[in-house]
Amino acid sequence: MANWQPWLPPALSKPRFRLYVAGHSVSVIGGWIQQVAIAWLVFRLTNSAVLLGLAGFPAQYFLPASWAPWQCFAADRLPRLKTLIVIDIVLAALSTLLVAMAAAGVEAVAAYLAIAALIGAANAFEMPVRQTLIRIIVEERALVTSALGMSAMVFNVGRMVGPAIAGIVLAYLSEAWCFRLNAFSHAAIIAALSGHAPAPNPPGRPHRLGPRKPSAKACRCCSLFQPCATSCPFAWRWDCWRHPTFR
């Protein structure tokens, strides 16, 4: 081990992080397999380039991005490990629904687009929760940079491997098999996360976005928009975010 360990990213020296990377790698590849399969299925049913584009960018990226304040609010306030496991279970359930629809020959394109939007929303909440949980999994603050770099590498490798596998499966099998592979891939990350102890927020660091619970006098509408009212001013104070976004 002494001969090859120095060649690995330092974060992989932690067994808990190695387990997480293994499960996350399988899940990322499965996610890209499913994304390609949804786009191909929509195009095959409609032969429409417009709906093909709608199944890709707007449904899975643009619409969920509009909920950014609530995504960060969830990552800051909710139990991160449990939240991430629940999100992966929801994604697995949506993939299973796609398997049933594709196997049954359902041709309702609107249903597939709606499920793609739900998957995009779940992924949008999953990303900030996962990134904040990495610091807990890797155990040492000095290894956080290495862990984030490793996570980015896993994502980019999945972008190359996943579509290639999807093309082979679509050529020789069907879209339902792509959805089935992704449903099974979520079992890997759920199993990896289930092996970790609950990850509390770091001690000695109070929440910076206001009180954990809304005031008893606050109405439900105020509670709904509280994440936006607290997150946006907080983000605006960071020059590294404000300048590239608005200049």
Tokens of 61: 């990226």
Q: Give the pLDDT score at 227.
A: 54
Q: Give the pLDDT score at 222.
A: 46
- In this predicted model, what pLDDT tens digit does every residue of 53-65 receive, in sequence order? 877 766 566 655 6
- In this predicted model, what pLDDT tens digit does every residue of 127-173 receive, in sequence order? 778 878 887 888 777 787 888 888 888 888 988 999 999 999 999 99
pLDDT higher than threshold 90 for residue 11: no
Torsion of CA 146, 151, 156, 159, to 10 degrees: 170
- Please list, in sequence order, all residues whose beta carbon lies within 8 angstroms of the beta carbon of residue 103, skipping any fewer than 6 positions away: 176
Q: Is the dihedral of CA 93, 225, 240, 62 positive or negative?
A: positive
Q: Return the CA Rg of the chain.
A: 20
- In this predicted model, what pLDDT tens digit does every residue of 53-111 receive, in sequence order? 877 766 566 655 666 666 666 666 677 788 888 889 999 999 999 999 999 988 888 89
Q: Give the pLDDT score at 80.
A: 76
Q: Give the pLDDT score at 234.
A: 58
d(CA 191, CA 48): 39
d(CA 224, CA 202): 26
Confidence of residue 30 (pLDDT cuts 50, 70, 90): very high
